[in-house]
Amino acid sequence: MEWLENINYKNVLASLIAVAVFVALWIVLGLLFKRWIAAEHRSGSQKGIGAILWDIVKTLLVIVGIVVLLEINGVDVTSAIAGLGIASAIVGLALQDILKDIIMGIHIAVDGFYKVGDYIYYNGALCQVTDFNLRTTTLRNVTVPGTTVVCNRLIESAEQASQFVQLEIPVSYSTPQDRMDEVMMSACRKAMRVEGVNDMVYTGLDKLGDSAMIYVIWLYCGQSDRYAIKRKVMRIIKDEMDANGVVVPFNQVDVHLDR
């Protein structure tokens, strides 16, 4: 039992206390972050900043815990940390793109560029954010079916998709405005029956074009299938215009000849 006599019970006790403190800290922080993450889920975010920060905090707790335990047991971590700093600089140069991804990922999460479940425009296409971590963002293209994984460093800005689609309807100048108002209101009522349409708002005459008057309707619908819904609604509007003899004019040019 000679090995029992060589045990430094003071270090063992200090190590056990340190482990207990870190476990307690892990549990308390875990409960707090769990409530934060649950609140994000209730607001519609599948993976928000709370989940990402919790991953970072867990990693830091493990690293700090290991360092503290080594210090308690007489291991000199100062030189190890110094050597680790030099090694980190070398690795940082080799992995600078990954570090850029992580830095941009933190920037996206903290500043709320977007969260999982949001719809944004990327390279001109409407996409849904299906997954996000500190390195990459996964986008599902709504315009053209497909999934893209994008490095966070490549995302310089993110335009949130609006909650409505603006429909611009060109109509001949020969159509009275009162008559056009009736036709558009009737088309909106019929379009409300389309599955996925949340609301239809007819805003009226928007502008006078070169060869047509432009009327505007705001279509509120689900983002995931907005293009399919838009096509159905446009068909209803066109059928209603045809039934009432409303003409969509071709582009016209007036030519004046001076003699």
pLDDT digits (tens, 9 = 90+) for 54-94: 777 787 888 777 877 777 777 666 665 665 665 566 655 65
C-alpha 83/C-alpha 88 separation (Å) is 8
Residue 47 has pLDDT above 70, yes or no: no
Write the CATH number of the domain with boundaries 113-160.
2.30.30.60
Which pLDDT belongs to residue 87? 57
Which pLDDT belongs to residue 196? 85
The listed CATH number (1.20.1050, 2.30.29, 1.10.10, 1.10.287) that belongs to domain 2-94: 1.10.287
Instruction: Kindly state the tokens that stand for 47.
Output: 């993976």
Instruction: Give percent of the chain with pLDDT exceeding 70.
Output: 80
Residue 119 has pLDDT above 60, yes or no: yes
pLDDT digits (tens, 9 = 90+) for 218-245: 888 877 778 888 899 999 999 999 999 8
Write the CATH number of the domain with boundaries 164-243.
3.30.70.100
So where are the chain's domains? 2-94, 113-160, 164-243
pLDDT digits (tens, 9 = 90+) for 90-110: 655 656 777 788 788 878 877
Which pLDDT belongs to residue 215? 92
Mean pLDDT of the chain: 79
